Amino acid sequence: MKKTMMLIVLSIAIYGNIEAKGNFIPAILFLQDGTQIECFASEMLNWRVAEITYKESKNSKEEKKIKSVDIKKIAYVNEDGDTSEWEYLPTISPVALSKGQQIIDKPMWLNVKMRGFTTLYLNTTSEYKKQKIGKDGYIYTKGYNYLFFCLRENEEAAANVLYVMDGKVPVNYSFAKSGSNYFADSPEIAEKIRKKEKGYREGNIVEIVREYNAEKLANQ
């Protein structure tokens, strides 16, 4: 029973439904007022956290907090000097996008993967699932969920264009609809997505965004 509860709590923490604080990582906080804070910020374990905890130095015992709405971007810096950027943005769900609706949800932190005419974001979650083995046995397997968002410079909210849950697209959602709706300003790409042509399906989202951005750049 204790093991089961531990796995459930671990799953919730990873999935981001509770406020969790991890290691402090070198980071730069880009604030909405144009100022920057070089610090050690808590790693991103909760996409909807209302405040970011940080320390001015690695060994400092004093922890400070700043509201997420006051931060434009966080750039975490790894040992090689590469950065992982996160932005706090309102979102549109994949189901709403599939229906052509502009229902804006509360903001969440999104991880930047590709910048361009539309910026591509990817958030990954993991959770443990209980599977029955034999008559009385159970095993817990780890599954991954992938949420892809897109945002153009003139848009108010990032659209969740693709949601893959443990390797499968949820039954109440269609990438053919959400993708073709979002990329409607590129009729050729939108039509290929709608028809589910080879190279324009769920597994091709990165290539689709890259092609879309290249087309927009060429037409400027």
User: Which is more confidently placed, 210 or 15?
Assistant: 210
Structural domains of the chain, with CATH: 1-81 (2.30.30), 88-220 (no CATH)
Residue 18, both tokens = 């509770």
As a whole number, the mean pLDDT across the chain is 84
Residue 187 backbone dihedrals phi, psi, to 5 degrees? -50, -40
Q: Output b/e per residue, 82-120; b: 16+ Cβ within 10 A.
A: ebbbbbbbebbbbbbbbeeeeeeeebbbbbbbeeebbbb
Rounded to two decimals, the pTM is 0.81
Residues 28-41 have pLDDT tens digits of: 999 999 999 999 99
- Mean local confidence (pLDDT), 167-190: 86
Using 50, 70 and 90 to split pLDDT, how confident is the model at 19? Answer: very low
Alpha-carbon span 40 to 86, nearest angstrom: 15
Residues 51-87 have pLDDT tens digits of: 999 999 999 999 999 999 999 999 999 888 889 999 9
Give me the pLDDT at residue 69, please. Answer: 95
- Mean local confidence (pLDDT), 172-181: 86
Residue 95, both tokens = 């189901």
Q: Is the pLDDT of residue 18 over 70?
A: no
